Amino acid sequence: MVKRALTVLLAASAAFAQYKLEPAGAPPSEVAAAISAELQPAGHKVLSGDGKVWCELWFRKGAPTGPQTTENDVTWKNVVAGAVVGVIRWPAAGYDRRGQGIKPGVYTLRYSVHPVNGDHLGVAPQRDFLVLTPAAQDTDPKPVNVFDNLMNMSRKASGTPHPAVLSIWKIDGDFKPGLAQMGEHDWVLQVSLGDVNIAVTVVGKSEG
């Protein structure tokens, strides 16, 4: 009896660990009209194993391209720093790549590169990341190209001294659109922004 109960429990745990992807509707009304106009008309809905919505994401129609960077360990070499990449909505409390709690709501996703200062060793093989900022306070689609200004905006999302971030990287090789598990705990969403393919870790906390 005990063995059977344990088997059922493990099977249930495995089921609840699975995530799946469904289409989402138009961008949220909380997003400023000027930013919403840059987004694809339909989004991506990530559901957890119990059928609840974990998060919803909307990405830009096209990639925000700029000058080629010479930074090391950066996968997206020609994106504009501080540019809007998309929008994310958490219907319930979520968490970022660092495991910081994020309140329910809508957040703008802007691109940045973490500094080489010894504080990010082991976080990810690449330095690319997305910075979350509260959509109600982030209404201008222009890039926030001053790093400190962007970090200050994001601290309003995290409520901590560290900005709220998600891991991202550009895909130059085998692109498989959709949601898939990577490693033991991470779930990664692969999407296209025009002719640029990217991957975003939507579930999972850094072990670094």
Q: What is the pLDDT of residues 26-71, one digit of tens each?
A: 999 999 999 999 999 999 999 999 999 999 999 999 999 988 888 8
Decide if pLDDT at 13 tops 80: no
Mean pLDDT of 160-166: 94
Strand 20-24 relative to strand 165-170, pairing = unpaired
Predicted confidence at residue 207, as pLDDT, reads 64
Over the chain, what is the mean pLDDT?
88
Predicted confidence at residue 32, as pLDDT, reads 98
Cα 87 from chain centroid? Answer: 9
Q: Give the model confidence (pLDDT) of 63-109 as tens digits.
A: 999 888 888 899 999 999 999 999 999 999 999 999 999 999 999 99
If 0-12 CB within 10 Å is exposed, 13-18 middle and 19+ buried, where does residue 164 land? buried
Mean pLDDT of 110-116: 86
% pLDDT > 90, the chain: 77
Contact, 33 vs 89, CB < 8 A? no
Band (pLDDT 50/70/90 cuts) for residue 115 is confident
Decide if pLDDT at 6 tops 60: no
Residue burial 87-97, b: 16+ Cβ < 10 Å; e: rest: bbbbeeebebb
pLDDT top residue among 61 and 121: 61
Band (pLDDT 50/70/90 cuts) for residue 10 is very low
List the end-to-end C-alpha distance of the chain, in Å, as a whole number: 40
Decide if pLDDT at 5 tops 70: no
Decide if pLDDT at 121 tops 80: no
